[in-house]
């Protein structure tokens, strides 16, 4: 069946610009669905002169008439979600299209406390988490200690669950010497009030999405983080705690694999990562700092400066293979404007051997040296010129930029569908005729 469904997946360590690409493709979509992650995500979207920073709300919320779904695989911090709803409403955005899965797990106050405590106890070997309680919440989900969104709307169940979980959490928190929790009764009352506030949005979202797909609706699955932060396929243990890859859509939204038709891999034209862990093409010289400033590479969620480096195609090929990427969206290529010379890593050299596939071992990665291909840079241009370039099409991009783009596409054997030349909606070049016909 010719399904109009698309997935937007990060091919690097997150922050590739998935929010903007989702927002662009959401223009004609009926549903935008988040399937993993939580408030650790930060999606920045520029509309006119306004900038929206979203953490939990699917980016589709900014498009009128689009259903914005938080799937069961997301971990929901209800306090943050209500705050985000208030923020967008105060800026004139309606949220009646929001739906939240009754099966989604809830981030509880002890998850946030334990996230900080676990990081502290790891000392210099810390993951560098966002401190939003993500890891402890997913751990509780897997060990069947989780509170789900559906529980918040049923006070008796909520009370029973929290009373059962609470003593263990108190012992853990005391063992870590972490700050104490509020009284159990207060937590139950607060979370029950969140349930009352969110109740109108809560439903079985899997039923809804599958019905939409059956009826030929355009459904966009919005990934958060990226393949290299995936719990299985990323640079473990320097990863997040969810499945950020295409496979995560099936479990995190409750849809069969056959319902995912196209997979758009979002590739930033260079590489960044926040937090700790190996990064083979990292630029620790002034060039890294230059990219950080020019690209505004500071975390949307934590404000931390992102580490920057050259584009790494060993990483992107890993992502292409695991996600079944069918087209690429290249973002932030304008950040490279005006640089004299550019590099792209095609392979690694580890202990004298050429390595083409991304290794699983952190100790190997630490020894990996990038093998680079060099490229001439292209001239800078003004913001006004971007408009002209976009309306005149791909051929008006500088020849050196086209060479850079062509190299990426042929090396990873996937066509480019979108080139993003700035943060705004209209700073986007589509290399295919229609956005939903790849």
**Minimum distance, C-beta of residue 280 to ligand IMP, in the bound complex (Å):** 16
Cis peptide before 237 (omega within 30 of 0): yes
Alpha-carbon torsion 193, 198, 203, 205, what sign?
negative
**Minimum distance, C-beta of residue 36 to ligand IMP, in the bound complex (Å):** 10
Closer to ligand IMP at the Cβ: 13 or 404? Answer: 13
Backbone angles phi, psi at 81, to 5 degrees: -65, -45
**Minimum distance, C-beta of residue 377 to ligand IMP, in the bound complex (Å):** 27
Closer to ligand IMP at the Cβ: 15 or 312? Answer: 15
Backbone angles phi, psi at 52, to 5 degrees: -110, 130
- Is residue 55 flagged as an active site residue? no
- Is residue 151 flagged as an active site residue? no
Within 10 A of 362 (CB to CB), how many other CB atoms are there? Answer: 13
Task: Give contact residues for ligand IMP (rule: CB under 6 A).
Answer: 13-15, 40-42, 127-130, 132, 134-135, 224-225, 229, 238, 240-241, 274-275
Provide the token pair at 260. Answer: 């995912």
Out of 23, 28, 30, 43, which one is annotated catalytic? 43
**Minimum distance, C-beta of residue 302 to ligand IMP, in the bound complex (Å):** 7
* Dihedral angle, C-alpha 150, 248, 10, 357, nearest 10 °: 150
Closer to ligand IMP at the Cβ: 202 or 264? Answer: 264
CA distance 364 to 211: 46
Closer to ligand IMP at the Cβ: 246 or 271? Answer: 271
Per DSSP, the residues of 260-306 read --EEEEEEESSEEE-SSS--TTB--SHHHHHHHHHTT-B-TTT-PBP
**Minimum distance, C-beta of residue 128 to ligand IMP, in the bound complex (Å):** 4
Closer to ligand IMP at the Cβ: 304 or 403? Answer: 304
Q: Is 311 exposed, middle or buried (0-12, 13-18, 19+ CB in 10 A)?
A: buried
Residue showing the smallest CB distance to ligand IMP in the complex: 275
Would you name the residues annotated as active-site residues?
15, 43
């Amino acid at each position: 069946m010719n399904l109009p469904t698309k997935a937007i997946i990060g091919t690097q360590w997150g922050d590739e610009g998935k929010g903007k690409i989702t927002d662009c493709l959401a223009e004609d979509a009926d549903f935008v669905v988040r399937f993993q992650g939580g408030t650790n995500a930060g999606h920045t979207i520029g509309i006119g002169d306004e900038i929206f920073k979203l953490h939990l709300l699917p980016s589709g919320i900014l498009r009128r008439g689009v259903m914005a779904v938080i799937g069961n695989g997301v971990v929901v911090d209800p306090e943050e979600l209500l705050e985000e709803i208030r923020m967008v409403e105060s800026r004139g955005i309606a949220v009646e299209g929001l739906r939240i899965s009754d099966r989604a797990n809830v981030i509880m106050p002890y998850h946030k406390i334990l996230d900080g405590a676990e990081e502290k106890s790891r000392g210099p070997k810390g993951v560098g988490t966002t401190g939003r309680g993500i890891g402890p919440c997913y751990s509780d989900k897997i060990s069947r200690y989780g509170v789900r969104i559906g529980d918040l709307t049923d006070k008796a169940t909520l009370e029973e669950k929290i009373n059962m979980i609470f003593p263990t959490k108190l012992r853990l928190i005391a063992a870590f010497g972490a700050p104490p929790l509020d009284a159990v009764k207060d937590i139950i009352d607060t979370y029950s009030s969140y349930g009352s506030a969110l109740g109108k949005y809560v439903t079985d979202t899997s039923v809804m999405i599958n019905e939409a797909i059956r009826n030929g609706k355009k459904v966009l699955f919005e990934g958060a983080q990226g393949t290299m932060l995936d719990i299985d396929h990323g640079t473990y243990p320097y990863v997040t705690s969810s499945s950020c890859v295409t496979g995560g859509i099936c479990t995190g939204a409750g849809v069969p694999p056959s319902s995912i038709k196209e997979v758009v891999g979002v590739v930033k034209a260079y590489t960044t990562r926040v937090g700790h862990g190996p990064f083979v093409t990292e630029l620790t010289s002034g060039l890294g700092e230059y990219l950080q400033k020019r690209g505004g590479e500071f975390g949307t969620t934590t404000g931390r400066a992102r580490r920057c480096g050259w584009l790494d195609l060993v990483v992107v090929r890993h992502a292409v293979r695991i996600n079944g990427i069918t087209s690429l969206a290249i973002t932030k290529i304008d950040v490279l404007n005006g640089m004299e010379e550019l590099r792209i890593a095609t392979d690694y050299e580890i202990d004298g051997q050429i390595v083409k596939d991304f290794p699983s071992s952190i100790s190997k990665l630490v020894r990996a040296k990038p093998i680079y291909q060099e490229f001439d840079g292209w001239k800078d241009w003004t913001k006004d010129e971007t408009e002209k370039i976009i309306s005149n099409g791909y051929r008006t991009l500088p020849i050196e930029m086209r060479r850079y783009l062509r190299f990426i596409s042929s090396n990873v054997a996937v066509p480019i569908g979108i080139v993003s030349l700035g943060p705004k909606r209209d700073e986007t070049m589509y290399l295919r005729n229609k956005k939903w016909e790849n």
